[in-house]
Structure 1
Amino acid sequence: MKDTEQTLDLTTRIVHHDYQPPSGFVAPQPGVFKASTVIFPNVAAMRTREWKDKSGYTYGLHGTPTTFILEERLCALEGGLQCVLVPSGLAAIGNVSLALLKAGDEVLVPDNAYGPNKGMSVATLAHFGIRAVLYDALDPTDLAGRITPATRLVWLEAPGSVTLEFPDLPALVRICRERGVTTALDNTWGAGLAFAPFDLTGDGSLGVDISVHALTKYPSGGGDVLMGSVITRDPALHMQIKLLHMHLGLGVGANDAEAVLRALPSIGLRYRAHDQAARGLALWMQQQASVVQVLHPALPGSPGHVHWSTLCGAANEGQGAAAGLFSVVIDPRHTQAQVDAFCDGLRFFKIGYSWGGPMSLVMPYDLHGMRRLPTPHLHPGTLVRFSIGLEAVQDLRMDLEQSLRQAFAPR
């Protein structure tokens, strides 16, 4: 290039400038590589490179150094061997269901699963001739009784969405394994820290087949990134998921991958901080007159607490591990308008979906529209979920106290 450089137009010289920086640059954070087009050195390389593994680069959607590094670090976090990245946690769920199911198949979904997963399974998958069946995650015999020869996939979630019941996850996985049914776990709450999804018994003999993770939550930690992952240990299962991933053209932005990579080193510290604060506030809420039930897996008496203790109790030097979420049931003598006023009256808890970020959140829910199976373990009343952020616990408790007093004071 340099021999002819002076004869070329300036714009051509800029586009085709051949300077390459020296190799060997090492820093705490990986580089950010943005690409749609990937340059091959020659035609032979173009024809022989394989997009299905990490042996080379072919096109931006199939991976860059930035996304490859993130995938491998997420595998280390959850104990998997293969990973694909998608634009959201819900996209990860869709990637799994659409990759593994076809017309005539059945998928089983816990009744307390993440709402959009239930909606996708019951409504959207029906358009493809796939039948969705809901089961009671707290009753392994209910799951066993609903599996049929057409069942190809069972979704698991620990704990359940919003109501936070913790299932006997090893028992559910054993039932599926005995019947040759693939299991997929929404592991967003556990985040790879509360328990090991691919090693539920500690001896490597039992684990889920697929772990889905909304990286939007704790891996990101900032409330500003949408991303999901699908992690596996079986190469054939991974390839089924990866092929659909390619066919749908799923990809993530390099700057979003950078944000998650930057946050990952602190995920353990943040998770423990969220956990400690949530447990303290949940215990305090148990003492409030307007609250008839507190739902938090680490609290004795909460549905599935014994299963949480068995699976997660040894983590964090024996203190157990749990995310920064808990829900309360407000006494039914209080009206919905009062519950709404309580949420509106909070200063530091903002009304918003999602969780895992630095800011505490609150959200009231209508359980009657969320559950189709009986919920005898839940007290009557109005449910409110809290996501605890990184604010000082004493300030959050003060905020809860003043709003409880204003909203539920005798009139």
Structure 2
Amino acid sequence: MSQDKLTQLIHHPYRAPAGFEAVQPGVHKASTVIFENTAALHKRQWKDKSGYTYGLHGTPTTFTLEERLATLEGGRQTLLTPSGLAAITLVDMALLRTGDEVLIPDNAYGPGKDFARGELAHWGIGHRFYDPMDPASLQAALSERSRLVWLEAAGSVTLEFPDLSGLLQVARQHPGLVVAMDNTWGAGLAFDTFELGVPGPEGSDTRGVDVSIHALTKYPSGGGDVLMGAVTTRNEALHHRLKLTHMRLGLGVGANDAEAILRGLPSMGVRYQAHDAATRRIAQWLQGRPEVSQVLHPALADSPGHAHWAQHCTAAGGLVSMVFDASRHAPERVHAMVDALRLFKIGYSWGGPVSLVVPYELKGMRQMGALAGREGTVVRLAIGLESPDDLIADLTQAFSQL
């Protein structure tokens, strides 16, 4: 061993003893992974998590997070992506080729729809939108080019809960069609995407969707400070297709971000229950407010798709939206109401401790369903962990702006 201190600092002989255990998993940071010899370099395998080859292909930290998320989602394999949107685009790119077509709910997450209109269209991949509240609409949209169907429950912003069983029944009549779901709202807690009661193709081990994506940015993080997504499957061959595309795209996540999600997972269940309870209380209170034309929340009996929600779910998360008709409240007055809120902060996302609010204009937002063609403003509330009494008081004073 060299006596030079600089060399010793890099090649120091000390190794910490094995056997250290703590509540939180260790954080392993690496781009380069060291091999003991050339045989190990050529033999070691990352695709089945039997070893480590390069930081981008996994570390003990990311492998641990993937395994825990697979358990949460009811799947067997999980891939981590830099964001929830990256999880959506990974599925699209891995499973679609030029000439194929993807079916997307009219009320799906907007950036995912934009990816189909933009990049997928440029690559010669078609897309069609369907009414998620009507399985016949999906049936009519399917063609011989259809390869992938997206589901989302509940719908983005407007929170309609689709007929998941009916949509799956339609999709399963078309062999070779892959069904993927954006499960960010349900978070693996409201319902099990892989056990919705509709068997997959012959030989499949799922009674629900084939792929579940999850924006870990929301409930798993719980802090509003991490961007990450996940793609979970039960089928080994499908997982392999996704994993190879994942590798070729060079997708990876930071070790400290993975640590933050791992730290958030143990409290996720109690946080989700707290969000759920507070949101139901506020949704019921909003129903009695004369300023609000309609309250959108799946657990409310008159919210679109309530019966479908009741079929599959017991929880409803932390989102509620309220509709203000243009004939009664001009958009600028609704915006003034939003600006008057003090505890609710204006910002996207949800699942963190701070309550959030975002207004959207209904005109052109929906092409299908009950809100199609309607004018007005829909204001989405993401209920945080503050006192529900304080949030109701904040809404009460802000409504004076209307």
Alignment deviations for residues 147-194 of structure 1 (CA, whole Å, 9 cap, x no partner): 111100001000100000000112212211221210010000000000
Whether the 8 Å CA contact 2:194–2:210 is kept in 1: the answer is: yes
Quote the offset at 1:374 in angstroms: 4.7
Match of 1:190 in 2: 186
Alignment deviations for residues 251-276 of structure 1 (CA, whole Å, 9 cap, x no partner): 00000000000000000000000011
Whether the 8 Å CA contact 2:295–2:321 is kept in 1: the answer is: yes
Whether the 8 Å CA contact 1:170–1:206 is kept in 2: the answer is: no
Alignment deviations for residues 266-314 of structure 1 (CA, whole Å, 9 cap, x no partner): 00000000011011001101111110100000000100000000000xx
Aligned mates of 2:113, 2:323 — CA distance in 1? 23
Structure 1 outlier segments of 4+, above 4 Å: 202-205, 376-380
Match of 1:121 in 2: 116
Match of 1:327 in 2: 321
Amino acid in structure 2 at the alignment position of 1:370:
M
Whether the 8 Å CA contact 1:211–1:232 is kept in 2: the answer is: yes
Match of 1:236 in 2: 237
SS in 2 for 1:178: coil
Alignment deviations for residues 17-63 of structure 1 (CA, whole Å, 9 cap, x no partner): 12111111111000000000000111001100112111000000000
Percent sequence identity over aligned pairs: 60
Match of 1:24 in 2: 19
Distance 1:374 1:169, change over 3 A: closer
Aligned mates of 1:379, 1:368 — CA distance in 2? 6
Asked if residue 366 in structure 1 is aligned to residue 361 in structure 2, the reply is yes
Amino acid in structure 2 at the alignment position of 1:58:
T
Whether the 8 Å CA contact 2:168–2:208 is kept in 1: the answer is: yes
Distance 1:357 1:79, change over 3 A: same
Asked if residue 52 in structure 1 is aligned to residue 53 in structure 2, the reply is no
Between stretches 345-354 and 364-373, larger displacement belongs to: 364-373
Quote the offset at 1:369 in angstroms: 3.4
Aligned mates of 2:171, 2:322 — CA distance in 1? 32
Distance 1:150 1:377, change over 3 A: closer
Aligned mates of 2:316, 2:373 — CA distance in 1? 20
Alignment deviations for residues 79-136 of structure 1 (CA, whole Å, 9 cap, x no partner): 0001110100000001000000010000000010000011001221001100010000
Whether the 8 Å CA contact 1:292–1:379 is kept in 2: the answer is: no
Whether the 8 Å CA contact 1:115–1:370 is kept in 2: the answer is: no
Match of 2:346 in 1: 351
Quote the offset at 1:202 in angstroms: 9.5
Match of 1:280 in 2: 281
Aligned mates of 1:262, 1:368 — CA distance in 2? 41
SS in 2 for 1:277: helix
Amino acid in structure 1 at the alignment position of 2:238:
L
Quote the offset at 1:367 in angstroms: 2.2
Quote the offset at 1:325 in angstroms: 0.1
- Within 5 Å, give how 1:377-392 maps onto structure 2: 380-392=375-387
> What count of residue pairs does the alignment treat as equivalent?
395
Aligned mates of 2:21, 2:186 — CA distance in 1? 32
Amino acid in structure 1 at the alignment position of 2:147:
R
Whether the 8 Å CA contact 1:174–1:206 is kept in 2: the answer is: no
Whether the 8 Å CA contact 1:218–1:357 is kept in 2: the answer is: yes
Aligned mates of 1:376, 1:24 — CA distance in 2? 59
In angstroms, what is the RMSD of aligned CA positions?
1.4
Asked if residue 134 in structure 1 is aligned to residue 134 in structure 2, the reply is no
Aligned mates of 1:246, 1:179 — CA distance in 2? 29
Whether the 8 Å CA contact 1:364–1:383 is kept in 2: the answer is: yes
- Structure 2 unaligned runs (5+)? 200-204
Asked if residue 82 in structure 1 is aligned to residue 77 in structure 2, the reply is yes
Whether the 8 Å CA contact 1:108–1:132 is kept in 2: the answer is: yes
SS in 1 for 2:363: helix
Q: 1:174 aligns with which of 169, 174, 179?
A: 169
Quote the offset at 1:326 in angstroms: 0.6
- Structure 1 unaligned runs (5+)? 313-319
Aligned mates of 1:356, 1:298 — CA distance in 2? 18
TM-score w.r.t. the length of structure 2 is 0.96
Whether the 8 Å CA contact 1:106–1:150 is kept in 2: the answer is: yes
SS in 1 for 2:219: coil
- Within 5 Å, give how 1:296-335 maps onto structure 2: 296-312=297-313, 320-332=314-326, 333-335=328-330
TM-score w.r.t. the length of structure 1 is 0.94
Amino acid in structure 1 at the alignment position of 2:190:
A
Between stretches 205-214 and 259-268, larger displacement belongs to: 205-214
Match of 1:315 in 2: none
Aligned mates of 1:71, 1:262 — CA distance in 2? 14
Distance 1:395 1:331, change over 3 A: same
Aligned mates of 1:220, 1:387 — CA distance in 2? 15
Amino acid in structure 2 at the alignment position of 1:184:
A
